[in-house]
C-alpha cells in the first residue's frame, strides 16, 4: 500500500487537532504502518470560514459524497457530532467498504450495536476510543488490556465540565451559577450546558463503558441519572466537615449476573483516589476479579488529547489493513442484560433535613431508621436561629435504595419535618 487516504467529517476543535497530529507526526505514523498517511478531503459546513488550522482550500468540501463515495479514501474519521445524519453517513461509509473512526459518544451510546453490526457485515473496522474520556485509553483497556478479566465495578469522573464546576465551588466557595459562567467563558461548558450539568453526557459514556466492561447490551434508558445543578454550598460544606468531596460519579457495578449503572452526585471519602481529581480532568477506576483495583487518569476533553485517541484508533485500523484482519474487532455482548432491582442496590447515604427544634424529634427520626434496619455512621445536629428550626445532617451505613426511599417518603409526611434539603450517595468511609 503506497498511501493511506483519510476523509475527515468535521473541522472543529477536535478535527483541527486531528489535522495537526497527522501532519506533524508523519514520521511516527510512517514508522507504525510503513506508508504515508494523508487527508484527502474534509467535510465542512462553510467553505469560507476562517479556521484555527491551515488547510488547502482544495481539501474542503460541503458535499459528503465526495468522501463517502470516493473509492480512493480508505478511512473516514467522524468528528462532526450529531446523531441521525451522522449515523447515516457512517453507515454509508461502512457499506462502501471504508473503515470508520469516531469520537461521537452520543451516537455510539444510542446506536453503537447497530453500527458495529454494519461494520462487521461490511468487513470494516469501527473504532471509537475518543468517545469516552478524551485522551484516556479506557475503551482499549477494556477491550484488550483487561479482556481476560471479569470486570466487577467501574466508577469515574467522565465529564470535565461538572468536575471543573464542583472543584471551583468546593475549593473557592463560589456559587454554582458563577462557576458555570466561568466554565462557559473558558470553553469547558456549552452555551446550553444541560447535557453536562444534568448528567446526560456522563450517562452516555457510562452506557458505552458498561456495555463493553460487562459484555452486556446496556441502553441509555437503563442508566439512573441526576445532575449537579441542585447542589448547594451547604451540601459541599457539610460534606467537607464530614471528610468527603463531592463529585459527579458514573457507576457501573455488577453483583453476580445483575448490574446497575448510574450517574449521580456522590460524596467520596477524601481517601478515595477519585477525590483528588480536580478541574477538567477525568479519571476512571476499574475493579477486576483478577487484576484488582486500577485507575486511569488524564485530560477528558480538548483538541489534542481527543485527537490523540482518534489517531491511535486510526493507527489500529491501518495495522489491521496491512494484516488483512479488518472487521474482526467487533465482539457481540456475551451476556443477557439483567438489571438490579432497587432492593438489590446498596450504598451509604448522606441526608440533610430541617426539623422543628423540639424535644424528642431526633429520637423519633432515629427510630424510623432503626425500624428499617438502617444505622448511622455520622451525625451532625445544628440549630438554625430563624423559625425555631434545627438542621440534621447524617450519613448512613449501607442501605438498599428501596429502604432509603421508603424512609424519605415517611420523613416527608411527618409534621415535625420542615424540609428534606438534600440526599446523596456516599462512597467510602470518611477520614474525620
The Cα–Cα gap between 166 and 394 comes to 21
For residue 9, give every residue at least 6 positions away whose Cβ sits within 8 Å of its Cβ, in sequence order, or none.
43, 64, 67, 76, 77, 78, 79, 80, 86, 89
- 348 catalytically annotated: no
Q: In which residue are the cell numbers 444505622 written?
A: 375
Contact present, 225 and 159 (Cβ < 8 Å): no
- Between β-strands 244-255 and 417-427, what pairing exists: parallel, antiparallel or unpaired? unpaired
Catalytic residue selected from 205, 247, 340, 348: 205
SS (H, E, C) the chain: CCCEEEEEECCCHHHHHHHHHHHHCHHHHHHHHCCCEEEEEEECCCCCCCCCCCCCHHHEECCCHHHHCCCCCCEEEECCCCCHHHHHHHHHHHHCCCEEEECCHHHHHHHHHHHHHHHHHHCCCEECHHHCCCCCCHHHHHHHHCCCCCEEEEEEECCHHHHHHHHHHHHHCCCHHHHHHHHHHHCCCCCCCHHHHCCHHHHHHHHHHHHHHHCECCCHHHCEECCCCCCCHHHHHHHHHCCEEEEEEEEEEEECCEEEEEEEEEEEECCCHHHHCCCCEEEEEEEECCCEEEEEEEECCCHHHHHHHHHHHHHHHHHHHHHCCCCCCCCCCCECCCECCHHHCEEEEEEEEEEECCCCHHHHHHHHHHHCCCCEEEEEEEEECHHHEEEEEEEECCEEHHHHHHHHHHHHCCCCEEEEEEEEEEECCCCC
Q: What is the crossing angle of helices 160-172 and 233-241, to 10°?
A: 70
Compute the radius of gyration of the chain from its Cα atoms.
24
Known catalytic residues? 205
Amino acid at each position: 500500500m503506497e498511501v493511506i487516504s483519510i476523509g475527515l467529517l468535521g473541522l472543529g476543535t477536535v478535527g483541527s487537532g486531528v489535522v495537526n497530529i497527522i501532519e506533524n507526526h508523519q514520521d511516527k505514523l510512517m514508522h507504525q504502518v510503513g506508508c504515508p498517511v494523508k487527508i484527502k478531503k474534509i467535510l465542512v459546513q462553510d467553505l469560507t470560514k476562517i479556521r484555527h488550522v491551515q488547510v488547502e482550500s482544495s481539501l474542503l468540501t460541503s458535499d459528503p459524497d465526495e468522501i463517502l463515495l470516493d473509492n480512493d479514501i480508505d478511512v473516514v474519521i467522524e468528528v462532526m457530532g450529531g446523531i441521525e445524519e451522522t449515523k447515516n453517513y457512517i453507515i454509508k461509509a461502512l457499506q462502501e467498504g471504508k473503515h470508520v473512526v469516531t469520537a461521537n459518544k452520543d451516537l455510539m451510546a444510542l446506536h453503537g450495536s447497530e453500527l458495529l453490526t454494519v461494520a462487521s457485515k461490511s468487513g470494516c473496522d469501527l473504532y471509537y476510543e475518543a468517545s469516552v474520556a478524551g485522551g484516556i485509553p479506557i475503551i482499549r483497556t477494556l477491550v484488550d488490556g483487561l479482556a481476560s478479566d471479569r470486570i466487577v465495578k467501574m466508577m469515574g469522573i467522565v465529564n470535565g465540565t461538572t468536575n471543573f464546576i464542583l472543584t471551583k465551588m468546593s475549593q473557592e466557595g463560589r456559587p454554582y451559577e458563577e462557576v458555570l459562567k466561568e466554565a462557559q467563558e473558558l470553553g469547558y461548558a456549552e452555551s446550553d450546558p444541560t447535557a453536562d450539568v444534568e448528567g446526560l453526557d456522563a450517562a452516555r459514556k457510562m452506557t458505552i463503558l458498561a456495555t463493553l466492561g460487562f459484555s452486556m447490551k446496556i441502553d441509555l434508558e437503563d442508566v439512573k441519572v441526576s445532575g449537579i445543578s441542585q447542589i448547594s454550598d451547604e451540601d459541599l460544606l457539610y460534606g467537607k466537615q464530614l471528610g468527603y468531596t463531592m463529585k459527579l460519579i458514573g457507576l457501573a457495578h455488577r453483583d453476580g449476573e445483575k448490574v446497575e449503572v448510574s450517574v449521580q452526585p456522590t460524596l467520596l471519602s477524601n481517601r478515595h483516589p477519585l477525590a483528588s481529581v480536580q478541574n477538567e480532568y477525568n479519571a476512571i477506576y476499574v475493579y477486576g476479579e483478577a487484576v484488582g483495583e486500577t485507575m486511569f487518569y488524564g485530560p477528558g476533553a480538548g483538541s489534542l488529547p481527543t485527537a490523540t485517541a482518534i489517531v491511535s484508533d486510526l493507527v489500529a485500523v491501518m495495522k489491521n489493513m496491512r494484516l488483512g484482519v479488518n472487521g474482526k474487532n467487533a465482539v457481540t455482548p456475551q451476556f443477557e442484560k439483567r438489571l438490579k432491582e432497587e432492593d438489590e442496590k446498596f450504598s451509604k447515604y448522606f441526608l440533610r433535613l430541617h426539623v422543628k427544634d423540639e424535644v424528642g424529634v431526633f429520637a423519633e427520626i432515629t427510630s424510623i431508621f432503626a425500624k428499617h434496619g438502617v444505622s448511622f455512621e455520622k451525625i451532625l445536629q445544628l440549630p438554625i436561629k430563624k423559625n425555631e428550626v434545627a438542621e440534621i445532617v447524617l450519613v448512613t451505613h449501607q442501605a438498599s435504595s428501596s429502604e432509603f426511599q421508603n424512609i424519605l417518603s415517611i420523613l416527608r409526611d411527618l409534621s415535625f419535618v420542615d424540609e428534606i434539603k438534600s440526599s446523596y450517595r456516599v462512597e467510602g468511609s470518611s477520614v474525620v
